[in-house]
Every structure is written in C-alpha cells, then in structure tokens.
Chain A
Amino acid sequence: MIHLLIVGVLVVVATLGLGLLLTQTGILPAQASQQAITIDWLFDIHFWFIAFFVALICVIIVYSLIVFRRKQGEKGDGVYMHGNQRLEIIWTIVPIGIVLWMAVIGGQTLSDVERRDPQAITVDVFASQWSWRFQYEVTTAEGVQTAVASDVLVLPRNQQALLRLHSQDVIHSFYVPEFRVKQDILPGGEKYVRELRITPNTNGTYTVQCAEICGQGHYSMLAEVQVVDGAEFTSWLTEQAADCNLSDAECGLRWAETFGCLGCHSLDGTAKIGPTWLGLFGHAVELTDGSTVTADHNYLLTSIVDPNAQIVAGYQPNVMPQNFDELLSEEQINQIVAFIESLGN
C-alpha cells in the first residue's frame, strides 16, 4: 500500500512538471491566425494527457526497477499475481471514454477551424515546381475586372482569406506554421482545386512552405506572406492592378519574380536548377547534343515558350514548365526577354 501511495504522489508531481514543460516553454510557433488559437487550445489538452500518461507509466516502471530489483545474491521469484479482471476492464473502459471525448472535441475544433465566412476574400494560389504565384481578382478604378498576380501573398488582418489551391504539375502542400493549417494542392484543373481558409490576426511577415515533397527544388519552394491592415491591403491591390508602366526590362523583372522564373534561374551567376541569366545574352551556349548556339533574342524566346527544344549542357529536360505561352501574354514574354538582354554584359 505504501508503494502505491509513493507512486501516486510521484505521478502527480511528474505530471505537473511535464505538463508545465510542454505547455509553457513555447514549443509551438507564434500564433498568427484565428485558427491557431483554436488549434493550440486542443494542443494544450493533448499536452496534459501526454504528461499524465508518460508520468504514470514511467513512474511505475522506474519505481519498480529501483525498489523491486533482485538484490545481490537473492534467489526466488516475484509475487505471484497473474491478473485482475476488474482492473483490466477499468483500464479498457476508461481509455475508451477518454478517446471518445477527445474525438468529440477534435470534431468540434475542426468545425471551428474550417468555419466559413461569406465575406472572405478569395485568392487563387498557383503552385508549380518550384515556385508560388498568388492571384487576386480586382476591379480597377475604371470599373474593369482584372486579375493581379504576385509572388508575395499579401493578406488583410482579421479578415478570412479563402485560398483556392491549384497545382500545375505534381502534388504540393500549402503550409504556414504560424497559421497552423495546411492543405495539399492537387494538379488536374478545377475538379482538383482544394480550399483552405485562414483568418490572419497578427501583422507580420511569414513564410509559405511547400510541405509535400515535390522534387529536387522542394526545400526551396518558399514564398513570403505579409499580413497587413485592411487599408494597406486595399491600396497595395490597387497599385498592383495598375498596368506596368515601367521600362520593358523593369517590367520583365517584375514578371520574372511573379511567375517564379527566379526560383530556378539566378541573377548573380550561380548555377541553380536552370542556367543563370547573368551574362547570358549574346554569349555562346553549349547544348546537350554537343552543338553550340549564340543566346540571341530568338534563342531566349524559344527557351521560354518551348524549353525542351534546346537543353543547355549539364541541365535536365522536362524540368521547366512548358506552358508559359499560355500563362503569359506575348508582351510579358518580350519584356522578360528584354530583361535578360539587359543582364547580357
């Protein structure tokens, strides 16, 4: 009996210690969404159960190992007790009750996390190997419906954002740890578009990560998220909706950022998944078939719209998306070419 009493006290102490360690030391990232608050509430319940069960079993085991070990020179067996039907039934029924209760609150938190707000703003998210693009529907000052694309996900604070997730090649996954939620992104068009709802509640800069392995560039498939005040969001969107009225090369840089070109092509001479653009224009390029071509205007144009036509030696075919002539207007492609030309020397 005295053994059980000591173990009981130790279990309570260990549970408290372990529980406080798990809930109070910040082993979850900062909270930046309404969903995170709900989810962290459920995490805390889990943490206390974990603390209790680890304490219970470990205390009994460690106590037994110390107190009930066979001492030097001792012979003979332990106390003969082969089981207790009532005890077995208790430790079957009680856990069933606990897990059913967990499942019920698990369902409730899920419905909280996925609650729909009809006022949500819609953002189309396009994932491809290995970049992100975010597209907003806006009405310009002239009353024209237009789409704005960006390589940064800008979201207004305290308003639900409905992300419609599209993939152009393989399965990706949208994940921002501070928002606590993720959703896989499936290729295959409208039928496979999946939705994710997030209500950011803290201004700041975060990172979207691809959470589903998607090939060699998976680790670098990142994009910036900015949570800003509502007014700031509106003015940002209006600014983006305006036509690009910069020089061709400057507009080209903007499209190159927006459409993910820079995920694979560097501007500083380092070789990434694709060749660098620095010093490319006007120079000789060796291809996989051994021939050499000069990187002129036509070469660059072909390389964007039909990337498999000429593969540079040392690089793989079928890596670059082959649908840029559909995604981009002719003007935008020409502006990107103009930008690459400006990096020629």
Chain B
Amino acid sequence: MRFFSTSFFRGLIAQAAGTVLGMGLVMALRVIFGLPLSSPVEADDAHIREIIVVGGVIVGAITFMIGAGVFTDWFKWARGEETSDDHTPDPSKPNWMRYFSVDFDHKVIGVQYGVTSLLLLLFGGIFAMLFRIELSGSGITFLNSEIFKVLLGYDGPHLYNTLMSLHGIVMIAGILLGVGAMSNYLVPMLIGANDMAFPRLNAFAFWINVPGAAILLSSLFFGGFDTGWVGYPPLSLRAPLGMQMFLIGVYLVGLSSIAGSINVIVTTLTMRAKGMSMFRMPIFCWAALATALLQFTATQLIGLSFQLVMLERLLGMTFFDSLKGGDPVLYQHLFWFYSHPAVYVFILPGLGVISELLPVFSRKPLYGTRWVALSSFGIAVVSFFVWAHHMFVSGMSPFLRIPFMYSTLLVAVPTGVKFFSWAATLWQGKIIFKTPMLFALGAVVIFLLGGVTGPPLATIATDLHLHDTWFVVGHFHDTMFGGFIFPFVAAIFYWFPKMTGRMYNEKQGKIQFWLMFIGFMLMSNLQLVLGLLGMRRRVVDFDAALGFDTMQLALTIGGFMVFFGMLLFAYNIIRSWTKGEVAEGNVWDSRSPEWQKPNPMPLHNYEHPFEVVGEPYDYGLPNSRYVNMNPAGESPAAH
C-alpha cells in the first residue's frame, strides 16, 4: 500500500481531479461571459467540447506536478522557508519507492527517465505491430475488426492513421526520454560531479513527462488524429479532438527537453573534475553537451508551432489556414526548424555511446578523439541550416532549395569523420565480443545505412521521386536504430552493473542482438526498396497489382523480430535486476572513473574528488591512467 503514497500515484490522482476542476473552470468562465455550453449544430458543439476538455487537460497537467510534489521546495522558497540541500533518502522507506517519488539524485532520475522511455518505446512498438499486421498484405482489413470500434469508437483507415501517427510521436517522446536517461545518469558520473547543477529543475524536467506522456497516449481515446507525427495544417485544423492531446502532450515533453538541457550545459561546463580540460572530457559528454545546446535553442520552435495550431483550433485565430488568409507552408518552416535538429538530438548521445564503447572493447584508443569530439559539434551546427530539405516539394520558394541542398550534403562530412574514426579504432585492436559491443557494432552498420541513404534525399532531383515514399521511412528507421535504439540498448547493458550491482544475462543478450539485427536489416532494407519502387508512405492499403505483397509480409516478419527482441530485453533486465550474478569491480577493465568505484555506484558518487591525469581512451599505452582516484596521496585503506 506504500505505492499509494508515492509521487507517481498522488500526481495521477491530482491530475484526474485537476482535469475535472479545469473543465469546470472553463465552463464557469463561459457561463460568466454568457457563452453557450452546448450547441444544436454538431460542429459547434464539438468545438465547445474541445475548448472545455483542453482547458481541463492543461490544468490537469499542472495539478499533476503539484500533487507529485515537484514544486514543494520551490513553494517553500517562495514563502521564505529554508530547505535542506542534503537529500539522502529516508531510510525508513524501501529503496524501490525512490524510483516512484520525486528524488533529486541524478542516478535515480536517470533510471526514471530510462524506464519511462522503455515503456513509451513499448507502446510505440505495439502500435507499430498492430498496423504491421494490417500492412502485411494488400486487402487485409484487420483494423476493421469490431473490437476496435467498441474500444475506441473508430476503426479502419482512420484507426490506421491514428496508430501510424502515434507510433511516430510516441517513439520520438520515448527517444527524447532515453536521451534524458543517458545524459542524466552518465554526465555527472563521467565528469566527476556528485549531481547535476540544478537537482530540483532536473526532477521537474523528468516529472513533466509523465502527464505529457499520459495526455499524448490519451489521444487514442479522444478520436485519434490522422496527420502523421508532423501535424501539418490545414489537416491538423480539421482532425478530431485527439489532435489537441497530441499537441499538448508534445508541448509538455518539449518543456522537459528545455529544462533538462539547461542542467546538462551548466553541469558539463562548470562541474568537471580537476584536470579535466574540454579535450579530456569523455566523448559522451561532448555529445551530451552538443545535444543539450540543440535542445536548448531549437525546442521553442516546435512548441511555438504547436501552440499556434492549438490557438487556431480553439479561438479561430488564422495562422495557417490559407482558405482564410493564413499560410500553411509557414507551419512547415517552424516545425522543421526544430524537428530537423531534433533528429540530431536523438542520435548524438547514441553516437557518443558508440565512441565510448568501441575503445573499451577493442582495447585501443578512440582514433582521433578530438576530431570525433568536434564532429559532434560540426553536426550540431550544420543541423540548424538544413531544415528546409524536408520541404523540397512543399511549394516553398524554388530557389531556396539550392542552398539547403548544399548545407544538407555537408552533414555527410562530420558524419564521415565519425565512421572513419570508428573503423580505425577497430583496426589492429583486440576485439572482445560482449553484448554491449555487439550492439555498438550493430549500431555502426545500421547507422552507416542511414548515412548513405541521406544524399539521395538531399539532392533535390532524386528527392522529387523519394519524398513521402517508404524510402524516407527506411532512411529514418536506419538513423533512429543506428543512432538511438542500438546504442541505448548497448548503454543499458554496459552500465547495468553500475546501476544494479548485478550482471545481465549474456546469452539472452546475444540472442536479442541477432534477433534484432537480422529483423531490422530485413525490415529497413525492404522499406528502402519499396520506396525506390515508388510506394508512398502513410497508406493503410495498397493495390495488389503493384506486387508488393511478399515484401510487405517479410517486412512485417522483420518488424516482429525486432519487437520480440525488445521483449526479451525487458525480460532480461527485469530478471537480472534482482536475480543476476553479482558484478564486482571494474567489469569491463575500463579507464573511466565510474568503474573505479564499487557497483552499484555509491549514493553521492565520489566522496573524494578525483583528478584527471591522462587521456580518457589511451588503452594499450603502458603505465598510463586517465584518473587518479586519490589525488591527495591518501591510501585507499584510509576510507
């Protein structure tokens, strides 16, 4: 029954109450201003309902945060009360409760992010499997089954559109949380800090995702939406109420991105251990810093564009509806100004993980460390000047497409540096095939496919054929699996002993790798080929005469292999968390400071600050080390 006293549970109760309260508030305001609460005309009635529900949902999100206790310390400060900076957990409560409560320890927050991320990835995966069944052949009408109509009130093509749209955006939310998980858990540990710079802001950044994700998923029960994850108006102005849940949910997740990025930037810039110059900072922290700068400067634009659609729907302000004087292409500029850099937010931390793992498991220095570090920044900078390559056929000014083609192709250069460095790192190493290494290697190969399928989309003439086909779907899945999913799985396996003090199951890990790697190769290469053959994306059915049936069936099989691989992963980590073999000491023989500490990582990381005395990845250089854990010359026995 202790569960009922956790922040998580109290927050959800407060959210439910707040939603009802908010709806009542909007209705009361309407009555005060003499506005009707219902209308005999169906369309007007739906509009009034939308205003009331949206008001309620926004209030609900705020009351979640209050109910969960995220604001408690800040309220105390506002009243002039002191709060303690010591946030050692209450020993009278069991340890698991920390993970369901507002906690300021970056490691707990990292795990909270990670678990929430995996849950969202699971939902996104289930949505995908549902529409993969529908797409496994032409003429299949699985989504017309009675059960969907009974559960959701709609079925068929609209249900397909909703699942397809939700798959995209829920996965993106899951990925953003996974990025948060990696940077929160790893950054302070790798740079020798005991926590993030602003622990309360950090907790806020995590917890705002919970109502955000709940609202996003609820769109399934509010009539869904049929716009894809991009939400282009005017279609998004006409979609059902579920559209608003999508807009609000993503808005809250975006707020988390901005708040979280401030922490990462300040922490990496000001809290590094003694002797850790920028170029001696681990590559992952470089990647996390570049990511945070992108999140901090670009996320506002998606918030803005979604807010404008929200206002246009609620209040009839005409921003984007060209039939009433707005401009639909403007939305696409605002949207992609974030959503292109966002792609690099998804992949840069993953590429950082690859760069961390390859040296450890090849027993060799990361080749050209400085170049790899700077290439993350190169990618981040260029990513701000390429957004319009998503709009080559949108009807924007035709001449502007040319500079965007140049800038887009330039992305290949820093990305190429990473590939060459990784290949050179493996060369003449002593490669060890543990599960994290397998996933890192798989990520390199998959991300390579994502990389080389980029240029045909960047040159405008070939994009005229490929735009909005399955080729784009394949390219994007390559970048997401190579840049996020595989590295994320690798990172969880690699730091699992640090998190839990136990080892994952190596055999299951390897089975999972081959299941996912083969399944994914099947899936993404078929997506690419279907796109080249001219199959457009986001369709619930296709003509049998096109001859795509066999390929679509194989694609579904590949998709399910990936899905089952992830289920095996969940089983492996849940079981190993309590039953795994106890992992002691420096499991991977790593030079990194966190592995010089016991497993799991002690509560406040480093009770004595360490000093950096060498390069992070100098494996193979005799008598060298990266950190001196006892700079004062004290003997370890003194502790």
Contacts and interface: CB of A to CB of B under 8 A. Distances in A.
A42 B461 contact: yes
A218 B538 contact: yes
B378 to A, nearest CB: 9
A219 B542 contact: yes
A148 interface: no
B363 interface: yes
Interface residues of B, number: 92
Interface in A48-107: 49-50, 53-54, 57-58, 60-61, 64-65, 68-70, 74, 76-84, 87-88, 91-92, 95-96, 99-100, 102-103, 105-107
A79 B402 CA distance: 45
B431 A109 contact: no
A39 B461 contact: yes
Contacts of A194: 395
B445 A58 contact: yes
B13 to A, nearest CB: 35
Contacts of B422: 61
B580 interface: no
A308 B369 contact: no
A186 B428 contact: no
A288 interface: yes
A38 interface: yes
A215 interface: yes
A3 B226 CA distance: 54
B441 A68 contact: no
Contacts of A219: 157, 539-542
A216 B157 contact: yes
Interface string A177-216: 1101111111111011010000000000001011111111
B384 interface: no
B89 interface: no
Given A65-B426, A194-B395, A70 B459 contact: no
A299 interface: no
A46 B462 contact: yes
Contacts, number: 275
B126 interface: no
Most buried by B among A110, A187, A308: A110
A80 B161 CA distance: 53
Contacts of A69: 430-433
B420 to A, nearest CB: 5
B465 A184 contact: no
B305 to A, nearest CB: 15
A301 interface: no
B422, B468, B543 — which one has the most chain A CB atoms within 10 A of its CB?
B468
B539 A171 contact: no
B423 A61 contact: yes
A76 B534 contact: no
Contact of B455 (A3, A39, A102): A102
Nearest to A83: B368
A317 B42 contact: yes
A118 interface: no
Interface string A13-40: 0000000000000011100000100110
Nearest to B164: A213
B365 interface: yes
Given A46-B456, A88-B368, A175 B468 contact: yes
Given A54-B452, A103-B409, A106-B460, A81 B365 contact: yes
Contacts of A76: 363, 430
A77 B430 contact: yes
Nearest to B325: A188
A42 B412 contact: no
B295 interface: no
A217 interface: yes
Interface in B423-437: 423-424, 426-433
A184 B393 contact: yes
B314 to A, nearest CB: 17
Contacts of B157: 216-219
A182 B409 contact: no
A187 B619 contact: no
B393 A173 contact: yes
B533 A177 contact: yes
A130 to B, nearest CB: 10
Interface in A248-262: none
Nearest to B370: A83
Contact of B235 (A64, A68, A171): A171
A236 interface: no
A182 B430 contact: no
B444 interface: yes
Contacts of B453: 50
A72 to B, nearest CB: 12
- Measured as residues with beta carbon below 8 angstroms from the partner, the interface class of chain A is 35 or more
B232 interface: yes
Best-surrounded residue of A28, A80, A107 (most CB of chain B within 10 A): A80
B441 A88 contact: no
B303 to A, nearest CB: 22
B232 A171 contact: yes
B441 A216 contact: no
A88 B417 contact: yes
Nearest to A71: B430
Given A68-B429, A102-B455, A216 B158 contact: yes
B469 interface: yes
B42 A42 contact: no
Contacts of A53: 448, 451-452
A331 B616 CA distance: 82
B455 A46 contact: yes
B155 to A, nearest CB: 11
A229 interface: no
A211 B427 contact: no
Contact of B452 (A27, A50, A82): A50
A82 B322 contact: no
A318 interface: yes
Nearest to A170: B235
Contact of A109 (B367, B459, B539): B459
A169 B422 CA distance: 50
Contact of A91 (B42, B362, B417): B417
B467 interface: yes
Nearest to B619: A77
Contacts of A210: 536
Task: List the 8 closest pairs (A to B, CB-CB), nearest first.
Answer: A177-B534, A188-B322, A106-B459, A78-B429, A80-B620, A77-B620, A78-B364, A219-B539
Interface of A: 3, 27-29, 35, 38-39, 42-43, 46, 49-50, 53-54, 57-58, 60-61, 64-65, 68-70, 74, 76-84, 87-88, 91-92, 95-96, 99-100, 102-103, 105-107, 109-110, 112-114, 169-171, 173, 175, 177-178, 180-189, 191-192, 194, 207, 209-220, 288, 308, 311, 317-318
25 contacts: A3-B428, A29-B534, A60-B426, A64-B428, A80-B621, A88-B368, A92-B416, A99-B413, A100-B406, A107-B405, A109-B459, A110-B459, A110-B460, A169-B234, A184-B394, A186-B322, A187-B322, A188-B322, A188-B323, A211-B536, A212-B468, A216-B226, A220-B541, A318-B43, A318-B238
Given A74-B430, A219-B540, 15 more contacts: A42-B462, A64-B428, A65-B433, A78-B428, A79-B428, A79-B620, A80-B365, A80-B621, A84-B368, A103-B405, A171-B234, A175-B536, A192-B322, A213-B227, A317-B42
